[in-house]
Chains A and B, each alone.
Chain A
């Protein structure tokens, strides 16, 4: 049976398609803008200078390695907190908590996710950093650890909210099947529910990482912003400077089109590429798991 689409449907299709493509177009436009502003840095600054360990841009020391390692170390600490706490909370909410408790807890967790990071930054600078200093007996509390803890806290609500939705979407029959086979509750969660919701949980973690590596304000307030190369394990307990904090703190000062300006955009480009890599890895893992799930369930 043939049916021609009415013009309203055609219009709606066009609008929806435009929305879909626009996301891709915006990302590409941003990428090209970053390339145009950032790539000149490679020509203007010697590579030996750009990949050195000294960041003092107002006198042409443009070493961005300390900034890259700073961002990475803070993100790693944050994920070490956000992954167990995020998944743990999501599992509790989806699998173990009674209905009424979940109805209260989930909106509260989401409310936590809506807290402006600058507010958390205040908490970090006035409560967390002094506490860490006395607790660990380190010279200053403004460290990668403080930044990581705070960012972990920022990433947890995002992770919990999405991971819980994914777990909730797992059909009840899976759990019933597992329990009927004699599996314990823990075995059901660990072997059946979590693997079935794997792609959603991974998406949650990736969004959490994305939020962490791009976070600026809270990090700028609590990490001390000292551009030290953070490659030792002890670097967790010393101040670091992240890429985002550098861009935020210094962008206001630079003259448009100067070398310094191009280097800041180059840092933005590095940040963009890092998020891109994280996303590509994540989506490839998600894709793989889906194929396996299909194989198992068919």
Chain B
């Protein structure tokens, strides 16, 4: 009896869930080349958009794109399970030597540029900060918004997880101000959230929070902070333009890596990514295109 009841309950949920579902017919095109593409979560949407467009134009090529983080992608490249690794940071010397140990050199391609936006809740009156102030906030020296001209509220620091390329880039460029030998760390009470979505949803409802993420992932309803390189520099909002002319302080290159010089379908794909047509997609997704 009980099983029957559970079954009926399940059936109801199942039918309700399926009501709006659509079926997809499998593609029948002949596929001659498979490209495995994995890595940076920052790049994953862009890589997907590229792959979709490219596959639409070249039905013979099948590209699978997965995220997981820059380190994950490069690790997969070292293990030989992917053809292209997406990374939002340069390959580390340790990783490069691991790949060389397998007899292959890492080859680097800059495929787009990215600006990291520092974001707060829209009700936060603070609208501009210097790099030094952001560094002090994240290292735990500044703990109240009133210390940077805001309300008397505690600061809740949000960050991506340690395996995110964005995390490492932000630490090196902002918290350590790009100085070599600076070993300042995130304050221990920094919330490490496993996804961009986690950061956005917390920022949306928490007036005390500060976070950072790729400009392409910042929704319109959050407030973007204008950043100055130091106290004497102008405060600059991140945008495609300010990232390209290097006036915005927290901008970086995005990479794809191959193990050894690419050839065949992979080379063609990489060449296509650098064309204006592909770079237009970069702009549409809120990143910064290369040629300008």
Contacts and interface: CB of A to CB of B under 8 A. Distances in A.
Nearest to A255: B75
A126 B156 CA distance: 17
Interface string A249-283: 11011010000000000000000000000000000
Contacts of B153: 139
A225 B188 contact: no
A121 to B, nearest CB: 10
B198 interface: yes
A54 interface: yes
A253 B168 CA distance: 13
A211 to B, nearest CB: 20
Interface in A14-67: 53-54, 56-59, 61, 66
B98 A125 contact: no
Report the interface size class on chain A.
35 or more
B153 to A, nearest CB: 8
B161 A250 contact: yes
A239 interface: yes
Contacts of B1: 103
B interface: dominant SS: mixed
Nearest to A220: B194
Interface in B61-107: 68-69, 71-72, 75, 94, 98
A227 interface: yes
B2 interface: yes
Contacts of A108: 9
B191 A107 contact: no
A148 interface: no
B191 A224 contact: yes
B186 A56 contact: yes
Given A107-B9, A126-B201, A142-B202, A238 B189 contact: yes
A106 interface: yes
B102 to A, nearest CB: 13
A129 B191 CA distance: 13
A61 B162 CA distance: 12
B150 interface: no
Contacts of B69: 252-253
Given A103-B5, A239-B191, A249 B198 contact: no
A128 to B, nearest CB: 12
A104 interface: yes
Contacts of B213: none
Nearest to B7: A107
Interface string B1-32: 11001100110000000000000000000000
B142 interface: no
Given A66-B188, A139-B156, A106 B201 contact: no
A103 B6 CA distance: 10
Contact of B189 (A54, A58, A221, A228): A228
Contacts of A249: 161-163, 192, 194
Interface string A135-160: 00001111000000000000000000
B191 A253 contact: no
A110 interface: yes
A104 B193 contact: no
B260 interface: no
A290 interface: no
Interface of A: 53-54, 56-59, 61, 66, 103-104, 106-108, 110-111, 125-126, 129-130, 133, 139-142, 220-221, 224-228, 238-239, 241, 249-250, 252-253, 255
Interface of B: 1-2, 5-6, 9-10, 68-69, 71-72, 75, 94, 98, 153-154, 156, 161-163, 168, 183, 185-186, 188-194, 198, 201-202, 205-206, 208-209
| Smallest CB-CB A-B distances: 4 pairs | A253-B163, A224-B191, A225-B192, A253-B71
